[in-house]
Chains A and B, each alone.
Chain A
């Protein structure tokens, strides 16, 4: 079946503009994660959605970052008033949490460049 998809694959924006990044998880996966990966760096946890529970927003770096997950499926990560330090690859992952395992399936990422 189809894997996790993200759009756009690349986004170049000017400092101060708002951007929206989209994630389509694998159908039926109840858990959805957003991570940020700067060049050559690790995976920084941003936010986590699980079913109908309130999202875990503990990783969001500032109040300029927000995310929604509509209908338990598609998610949108919004960055307001972008700054140059926001430049990174934003990865989305989903998981079914089947069998108590949390194998996360990652999307291809959105490369964000803030000029």
Chain B
């Protein structure tokens, strides 16, 4: 079945450093790749997404890259701040009669002040 692997499971960085989270997916039909941020005790919220016809997308301090051939996509956060501390989930979604979405296991990011 479909699978999304996410690494690392935990990431600790110093404030101001960059953080990179990587995901791989198995379903070659996947064409939409969102990233969600879940702060402690809160619901997940979309922070950035990318579609398969685009290789890279940037929004201020966050960027996502996609390599469809290798089925890899990554989240990059630059100039990290303590408020970036949260769990980040990648996901892969495909329109095969719908938009079933498979999430990665999550990365717990700690940004140390």
Contacts and interface: CB of A to CB of B under 8 A. Distances in A.
Interface in A87-115: 91, 95, 97, 100-104, 106-109
A48 interface: yes
Interface in A34-64: 35, 41-45, 48, 50, 53, 56, 58
A65 interface: no
B105 A102 contact: no
Binding site secondary structure of chain B: strand
Interface in B39-54: 43-46, 49, 51
Contacts, number: 64
Given A42-B105, A42-B106, A43-B89, A103 B100 contact: no
Interface of A: 31, 33, 35, 41-45, 48, 50, 53, 56, 58, 91, 95, 97, 100-104, 106-109
Given A53-B97, A101-B32, A102-B34, 20 more contacts: A42-B89, A42-B106, A48-B98, A48-B99, A48-B100, A48-B101, A56-B97, A58-B1, A58-B100, A95-B99, A100-B32, A100-B51, A101-B49, A102-B99, A102-B101, A103-B34, A103-B46, A104-B44, A104-B46, A108-B43
